[in-house]
Amino acid sequence: MKLRKVTAASAAVLALALAATACGSDNDKDSGSSPSGGSKKITIGIKFDQPGIGQKTPQGYAGFDVDVATYVAKKLGYSANQIQWKESKSADRETMLQRGDVDFIAASYSITPEREKSVDFAGPYLLAHQDVLVRADDNSIKSPSDLNSKKLCSVTGSTSAQNVKDKLAPKANLQQYPTYSACLTGLQNGAIDALTTDDSILAGYAAQSQFKGKFKLGGFKMTNENYGIGVKKGSDLKAKINTALEDMVSDGSWKAAVEKNFGPANYKNEPAPKIGDVKS
């Protein structure tokens, strides 16, 4: 009789231990966000406020970078509903990667020697250029030098407009607005004559339904901006993402994403860059 009681008690303890182990396994599976750790989720940094590139909308997330990141995540073994999107503002990107807040960042993230000291880059996956956006009926700006005496807009703190004023059109009347959307409003109502930043970003804004046919790109290609996918320094994700980007180009998905996000603005994009080929 005493033996049966001991056996029953032991069985109860064993059952509780097994239950606790099972619960622990589920919790371990859900914790963390590193792809190499077997997580159910992957955390990706994007812009939330750049139409055509990366934008948070009532319907979800949209833009070229979103399409690229979603394709890469799928190649890494994650479905779209396993992606956690995180806003990555320009000034925060290196810190977010170093802290492990995200697994990778695709956010109009130009590869530069200075940034490569802090993080690694896969890609590039898009070669953009600094350009200007003007009103569709304005034929007075045919080259960067035509910006002299024109009202040139960019966002406060941006180096784009200052680059034009310093090197290409020293007599340009530089106007700094808080957002690109404010610059667009000024361009539309005639308060400014041109908006400058990366051509991909300009094309994304111009492709919005409310702006179709109202603006055009200058096509000046004033700088090279090699967009890469940022990862933590030394991460083995770099090689895996590079393979995914090559697949995206070869199966036609890259071209389809360009046409989908930039096509309405008649964006004359560069061919898909080769991995590791960073244009200076």
CATH number at residue 57: 3.40.190.10
Would residue 14 be called left, alpha or beta, if left means φ above 0 and alpha means ψ between -120 and 50 degrees?
alpha
Q: Which domain holds residue 198?
A: 129-217
Q: Sign of the CA dihedral 55, 61, 62, 67?
A: positive
The answer to whether residue 245 sits within a structural domain is: yes
The answer to whether residue 26 sits within a structural domain is: no
Mark whether 104 and 211 lie in a shared domain: no
The answer to whether residue 47 sits within a structural domain is: yes
Q: How is residue 126 written in tokens? A: 């898009």
Distance CA 183, CA 176 (A): 8
Residue type, 154: S
pLDDT-derived band at 39, boundaries 50, 70, 90? low
102 touches 86 (CB < 8 A): yes
Task: Report whether the peptide linkage leading into residue 124 is cis, meaning its omega lies within 30 degrees of zero.
Answer: yes
The answer to whether residue 253 sits within a structural domain is: yes
Distance of CA 57 to the CA centre of its chain: 15
Q: Computed over its alpha carbons, how large is the radius of gyration of the chain?
A: 24
Distance CA 102, CA 54 (A): 16
Q: How is residue 192 written in tokens? A: 């400014």
Report how many domains make up the chain. 2
> pLDDT digits over 151-200, tens only?
999 988 677 888 898 899 999 999 989 888 899 999 999 999 999 999 99
The answer to whether residue 61 sits within a structural domain is: yes
> pLDDT digits over 216-269, tens only?
999 999 999 999 999 999 999 999 999 999 999 999 999 999 999 998 888 889
The answer to whether residue 29 sits within a structural domain is: no
Mark whether 120 and 254 lie in a shared domain: yes
